[in-house]
Amino acid sequence: MRIFRRPSTLAEALTLAAVLGVVALILFINFGVWQVSRTVVAVSSDPFRDLPFVLRPSADGSARQPGLAGAFARGDRVNLLLLGYGGAGHDGPFLTDSLMLVSLNGLEGAATLISIPRDVWVTIPKGKYNPAFQAKINEAFAIGANRADRDEGMRLAAAVVSDVLGITIERTVALDFRAFKTVVDRIGGIEVTVDRAFSSIYPASETDESWIEISFKAGPQHLDGEAALRYSRARYADGPEGSDFARSARQQKVILATRDKVAATGAAQTLLGLLDALRDNVRTDLSLADMRALGEVAKNYDDASTVRGALTNQNLLQNYNIRFADGLGFTLQPRVEGFGEVRAYVRRLFDSPGSLREDPLVAVQVSERRSNAGAQAVDRLSDLGFRARLEVVAGDDPGSTVVSGGAVDSVGFLATYFSGHRADLAGAVVVRLGTDWQSPKPFTSSLGVPPPASPTAAPRSASPSVQPSPSPSAVPSPSATPSTRPSPSRTPDPVER
């Protein structure tokens, strides 16, 4: 049975994930604090299972190290999934309405953050409590957590995200609103810079379904836990800040601001005292040795090299209504069939981050008779974050694609994407499209057939239509001081799901 709930009680658990990049990744991680008891954090398996630890790249022995230490020593990329949920007192308390991937390249000290919208429509695989079924991605964790089995919930959430992004998830962290607000307050709040002022309607409280209006001024701001939560969750705003992409960008900025505050004030010891109190609000499969390995990697972390990405309806996804027996439900679907283009985007962020800095204008060249294929290639490149234009040229098209140009990282990625080869690594970037390239098929779906009923007891999150997002280059950096005043006239339409 599918149950809807009012937008006023949406459990949008935003940056909480961030803070475990500040509880598990900051506490232990940035400071290597690991002499703690088993009750410090609710770990889902023996926290001491792989304590033998040496982080050193070498050809002998390091490859045999267990856990994340061994992965870093081998030069492997490590992917952490951060899940945020409302928790007790919220409608749908275990719907993970914040999902963020933190990917670490230990030897290079580089990090990649990717935000994943809660409304992505996926197939959740068979688990301990459910058959395979289709639902929004934020429901995966709730399947186990609603049955007091957060470990199963983390396993299912990691499996779904892994499938969507085409990567392996090594570890998962899940935490709720209370953990987030408590951590931010305990470190004395955070400093953020709001790039543009905005206002948004917001639930008055966890128990009050009325609405207030919150406002954030442009410029440097100090945020306490509640203000940081509101800044991260704000969704029903006018203009660009009402988009999911802008909200994801704010969440990522709050994560980094929290980490910076802990590093600047030496607040790790202060946070240690919170962990036992918050153990019911935080769950992770990181072992203590994993945390220590993360701490060692953090010593070489280069903030300037952080790559930030997001899946949005302005790049790889599109708004799509699914027809249920009782009405239409809002979802996000890929623009083309499957998640192949999403995975290509992730590969660009992971393997070719230099292409983001190069930001070349890509000329896609085709003959007149293949201009439709060329236009589709331009669309796909735009989805992947490239600036691209179509050029119709004389002559026959080659059998396979040839990519040339002086933007080396971009040319390398494009040659892989089009299964072509590189030539003339100088000048403007040109993709001479071959006849062997076929664009992925546009996504289509029947609206008349309802998907399988969800086995999750909690209601699935409601969500209004996503508004237009700014381009990645226009996304603001965070910070603002909220002021509140009643705003009874601006209530989201509860019909939108």
Q: Which two tokens stand for residue 90?
A: 């919220």
CA 34, 36, 39, 41 torsion: positive or negative? negative
Shared domain check, 403 and 276: no
Shared domain check, 218 and 361: no
Residue 303 neighbours by CB distance under 10 Å? 11
Contacts for 7 with CB less than 8 Å, ≥ 6 apart: 236, 462, 463, 464, 492, 494, 496
Q: Structural domain of residue 403, as residue ranges?
A: 354-432
Task: Give dist(CA 99, CA 80) in Å, integer.
Answer: 11
Shared domain check, 290 and 227: yes
**Per-residue pLDDT at 230:** 86
Shared domain check, 32 and 86: yes
Distances (CA, A) of 83 to 31, 158, 171, 182: 23, 10, 11, 17
- For residue 223, the domain's CATH number is 3.40.630.190
Shared domain check, 300 and 360: no
Residue 252 neighbours by CB distance under 10 Å? 25
Question: Does residue 229 sit in helix, strand or coil?
Answer: helix
**Per-residue pLDDT at 482:** 33
Residue 485 neighbours by CB distance under 10 Å? 9
Q: Answer whether residue 104 is part of any domain.
A: yes
Q: Which two tokens stand for residue 82?
A: 């951060």
Q: Which two tokens stand for residue 141?
A: 């964790």
Task: Give dist(CA 199, CA 226) in Å, integer.
Answer: 16
> pLDDT averaged over consecutive 10-residue blocks of the chain (497 residues)?
26 32 39 33 46 40 69 89 82 86 82 91 94 94 93 95 96 85 86 90 71 90 90 80 77 79 66 67 83 73 81 91 80 93 97 95 97 97 97 96 96 96 91 95 67 44 31 32 32 32
Q: Answer whether residue 438 is part of any domain.
A: no
Q: Answer whether residue 136 is part of any domain.
A: yes
Q: Answer whether residue 348 is part of any domain.
A: no
Q: Answer whether residue 450 is part of any domain.
A: yes
Q: 129-147 burial by CB neighbour count: b if 16+ within 10 A, else e?
A: bbeebebbbbbbbbbbbbe
Shared domain check, 225 and 126: yes
Shared domain check, 116 and 237: yes
Shared domain check, 325 and 415: no
Task: Give dist(CA 30, CA 261) in Å, integer.
Answer: 12
Report the amino acid identity of residue 108: E
Distances (CA, A) of 122 to 139, 174, 184, 326, 421: 10, 20, 33, 20, 34
Q: Answer whether residue 345 is part of any domain.
A: no
Question: Does residue 442 sit in helix, strand or coil?
Answer: strand
CA proximity to 370, closest of 399, 328, 331: 399
Contacts for 495 with CB less than 8 Å, ≥ 6 apart: 327
**Per-residue pLDDT at 447:** 56
Please name the residue ranges forming H helices in 146-287: 150-165, 177-186, 225-233, 244-265, 268-275
Across 270-372, where does the E strand assignment appear? 282-284, 307-310, 317-324, 327-334, 361-366
pTM score: 0.75
> Which H or E element spans position 68?
helix 67-73
**Per-residue pLDDT at 247:** 76
Question: Does residue 494 sit in helix, strand or coil?
Answer: coil
Q: Which two tokens stand for residue 387?
A: 């600036």
Shared domain check, 422 and 299: no
**Per-residue pLDDT at 471:** 33
Task: Give dist(CA 236, CA 244) in Å, integer.
Answer: 10
> Which H or E element spans position 17?
helix 16-22
Shared domain check, 327 and 194: yes
Please name the residue ranges forming H helices in 384-419: 408-417
Q: Answer whether residue 343 is part of any domain.
A: no
Q: Answer whether residue 1 is part of any domain.
A: no
- For residue 411, the domain's CATH number is 3.30.70.2390
Task: Give dist(CA 70, CA 297) in Å, integer.
Answer: 12
Shared domain check, 392 and 249: no
Tell me the per-residue pLDDT of 261-300, one tens digit each, with 9 for 90 and over: 876 766 656 666 666 667 778 888 888 788 778 777 766 6
Residue 48 neighbours by CB distance under 10 Å? 11
Tell me the per-residue pLDDT of 295-327, one tens digit each, with 9 for 90 and over: 777 666 666 788 989 999 889 999 888 877 777
Distances (CA, A) of 313 to 202, 336, 377, 383, 469: 23, 12, 18, 10, 8
- Contact (Cβ atoms closer than 8 angstroms) between residue 266 and residue 28: no
Determine the straight-line distance between the first and last CA of the chain, rounded to whole angstroms.
15
- Contact (Cβ atoms closer than 8 angstroms) between residue 388 and residue 410: no
- Contact (Cβ atoms closer than 8 angstroms) between residue 468 and residue 191: no
How many domains, the chain?
2
Shared domain check, 360 and 330: no
**Per-residue pLDDT at 346:** 97
- Contact (Cβ atoms closer than 8 angstroms) between residue 173 and residue 158: no
